[in-house]
Amino acid sequence: MSFPENTALAVFFISTLYFVFSHGNCNFREKGSFGIIGVFDFADSSSKEAFENATSSHNSKECVPKFMNRTLLLKSDASVSEIIELAQNALQTGPCFMVYAAEDSKARIVLEFAITQGVNVITAIPPFYPNYQYTGIHQSYDPAHVSSINTVSSTVTKRDALLALLGKLNWKKFLVVTDSEPSSNYFVNLLKESLHPRNLNLTEWLVYNEDNFDYFEKKLETDASNIILITNNLSLAEQILSVKEDFPSWTWIFLCDLDVGSLGSQWHWDYVYTITPKYSLKVKLSDFVDDAVSSISHTVTGNGRKGKAFSCPKICTFRRLLSEVNFHGSSDPVKFDQQGNRVPLRYDVNRMEYNEGQDMYELEHLGYWSNGKLSMEKKGEDLKILLNEYPPNVMSQPKKVGEPCQPGSMLCSKTVEGEEIKRCCYGFVIDVLEVICNEMEKVPKLLFSLDGQYGIYDEANNSWNGVVSELLSGRGDISFDLYISSRRAKVVDFTEPYMPSGIRLLAKEKKREDNQIYWVSYLRPFTPPVWLTLLGSLGIMIIFLWAMDKISPIRGSKKLFHPNSAFGLDNAVCFALALAFGRPADESKPKTNGARLASVAFGMAMLVFVSTYSANLAAFLIVDDKSPPVEDIYDIKIERPPDGFKYGTIDGSYMADYFKNSENAYFRHVWYHMKENNVKSLREGVEAVKTGSLDVFVADHVGLEYESRNDLHCELRVVGEPFAMSGASIAVKKNNPLFIQVSEALQKIKAKGLTDFIQEFWVSKYKCPRETPPAQLKVEDLSGLFLQLTIAMIGCILGTLCQRIFLQMKEKWTRKNNEDVDEQDARQEFAQTETLV
């Protein structure tokens, strides 16, 4: 090995060791350190411990600036001078961050010192504390100069919650009533900016105080129907809501950051909705402290800053960095807004209901707003609905812990090995049942069938399985996804189908393996009328070119046709065919200009024909190269399967019941071949076709169309015409009074066309870019070319006629001149003769 090679190998070896032991290219030089102070009440040992554990956890990480933590424990009996001295000593070290968690009011002295020195402060206590004995709220610190991880409410999120409720209640116009606080003024101005894009109209904004009560009451009588009340003053809210009761149908929305449960003993409005922040009782102060330190850690190391130099940020920069923080901490998800305050966890939406027995209002919980979504709870009788997963009718996904299901999906329960698992269900049937339950004012409770079957009758045991069995046993009240069969109709009542369906076949496209000869496949690019038109055009052009050359007056003959023309009919045939196929014409060519013009137009038309034919023929051949293994249910491979050819359907489905108990001998014969290959679900059958363990899968055509359109490789084909038409229907146990209610509700939504719309949405939602044969060209598609030829031929005829007329007139004029000259010559000759005599 040469010296350069040894050197290169050594460099490579050293570089590899450096990378392995450098912890991701992090050299061991000091990354810097930041001072961080924790301020706690002396008796709050849990918060102090959480602070120390969180800083130790940060310092244990590689390639991050270290936290030099210091703890201040403030005694309740400490004097102001002692606290000032303690604060000055602590801040002399120039700390970068502070976690403030002291609830003693005297601790604000330390907070004020930290703010004046530009320390980045995160508070673990709320910016205000509610005292329900007073009229409003009291600030525990100035929220404008610090960031808060224990924010109960914020202006932006409260506005978003209000807008969501306005949309739910379908409010378009409303009046706003507020107190005179600057925070209320700021909120309304922020709300105004969001109204126009949502087509909302704030008709008037009233600022209430006790001196203008009469004016306020009069204004409500004339202009109000929907009113939004915004205040944190509970006493003021009582006064506003106690206006005249002449209009009990007015609807109010009351926004408040306090507990409004004690309101309402002197007024009787029908509808008063409240939006209040959620006060989490399970989260301890120490949890907020832990998340405060973790948030600071994220600002130092997040977004690619780990292992890089980082200086202590200014307050504005610190707030921007906090807005990038997003993690799940000890106090639930942690996320900050642009002002450096934590986004509130959620707002509760309640409605005040009057309790006549106790002569007071009680809060009825309707739902909550969280993470940008409004989730409303439905009140009413539970309706236990049985279902199975069958795309696109019913699909499900795991439910995230602590979060509601996404819009468009509903909570459902699935029992697996005795354990109930929560999932979120969505699909065509889910949309339909949601509409029907709203019509019936029922609360749907979705339950998966225990055995995953729909219901097939076991003659040996004289029993049903699946959904039918659970309807009969009372585990469920109703099923929205049961297909009608004659056997099932004996034990359950079916409504009319809301989704007609039939049985079809799913197969995977394969290379064509047969050696069948298609004698006329080359004719498929054009329809028969186009081929006849082409042949007719060729014949007409042959005769036209020959005739034009014959009647041409250029030869100076007085006859209409020239029997001695060198361009005969055989020459016209060869010349036209040469033009059609782009070959040079070796025969004689027409001499007239008109015939040559017609030849050019005919050649252009034939060029388009030939090019289009070539392209379409190639496309037909490519598509013909792939084909499904069968054409329909009556294919010879279905009737007499060759060795290794398998097909099946879903156990316990109406398809299996149809083949097994059919009166048609052929379908019972099909069941004999498929019963050993059946699968448990639609997805399992589709996967079996993809992997090749099944050659053909038999199921209802709606599910097969959905799966075919969602195939990533576009290899699945739904073949055959639908047969054994049935459809998804709503089923209840025989003689259940619920049958009449659900039938009426179904009729109402079908009359509105909702079921057809929902089905079209789910089935046509996805489209696989499948390679399909091109459409055959029709005569209408080529009408422009025939028009071009016609115009050229007419122009040729007119040009030839004009030329002939011109030549005839010229010949006549020449002949007349010649006669005059001959007569003059004769006279001169006669005069000369007389002179001689």
Residues in the annotated binding site for L-glutamate: 488, 700
Q: Identity (one letter) of the amino acid at 570?
A: D
End-to-end CA distance of the chain: 136
Handedness of CA 607, 610, 614, 619 (dihedral sign): positive
Contacts of 658 (CB under 8 A, 6+ apart): 485, 503, 667, 724
Cα–Cα distances (Å) from 351 to 261, 347, 360, 444, in that order, read 11, 13, 13, 22
- Neighbouring C-beta atoms of residue 21, cutoff 10 Å: 8
Burial class (CB in 10 A: 0-12, 13-18, 19+), 181: middle
The answer to whether 264 touches 234, Cβ cutoff 8 Å, is no
Q: Check residue 324 and report its DSSP letter.
A: T
Q: In a 3-state reduction of DSSP, which class is residue 528?
A: helix
What is the enclosing helix (H) or strand (E) of 397? strand 395-398
Phi/psi for 384 (5° steps) reads: -80, 115
β-pair type (478-483, 647-648) = unpaired
Q: How many residues does the chain have?
A: 837
Handedness of CA 138, 141, 145, 150 (dihedral sign): negative
Instruction: Find tokens 């007499």 and name the residue.
Output: 640
Extract the tokens encoding 769. 């870019």
The answer to whether 442 touches 383, Cβ cutoff 8 Å, is yes
| Distance of alpha carbon 177 from alpha carbon 207, whole angstroms | 6
Closest C-alpha to 703, from 637, 645, 648, 650: 650
Phi/psi for 647 (5° steps) reads: -145, 155
| Distance of alpha carbon 644 from alpha carbon 635, whole angstroms | 16
Largest Cα span, the chain: 172
Q: In a 3-state reduction of DSSP, which class is residue 503?
A: strand
The answer to whether 295 touches 322, Cβ cutoff 8 Å, is yes
Cis peptide before 404 (omega within 30 of 0): no
Handedness of CA 509, 514, 516, 517 (dihedral sign): positive
| Distance of alpha carbon 509 from alpha carbon 716, whole angstroms | 6
Extract the tokens encoding 805. 């007329």
Residue stretches of the annotated binding site:
488, 700
Cα–Cα distances (Å) from 826 to 423, 821, 829, 831, 832, in that order, read 122, 9, 5, 9, 10
| Distance of alpha carbon 40 from alpha carbon 267, whole angstroms | 45
| Distance of alpha carbon 604 from alpha carbon 721, whole angstroms | 44
| Distance of alpha carbon 169 from alpha carbon 165, whole angstroms | 6
| Distance of alpha carbon 261 from alpha carbon 445, whole angstroms | 30
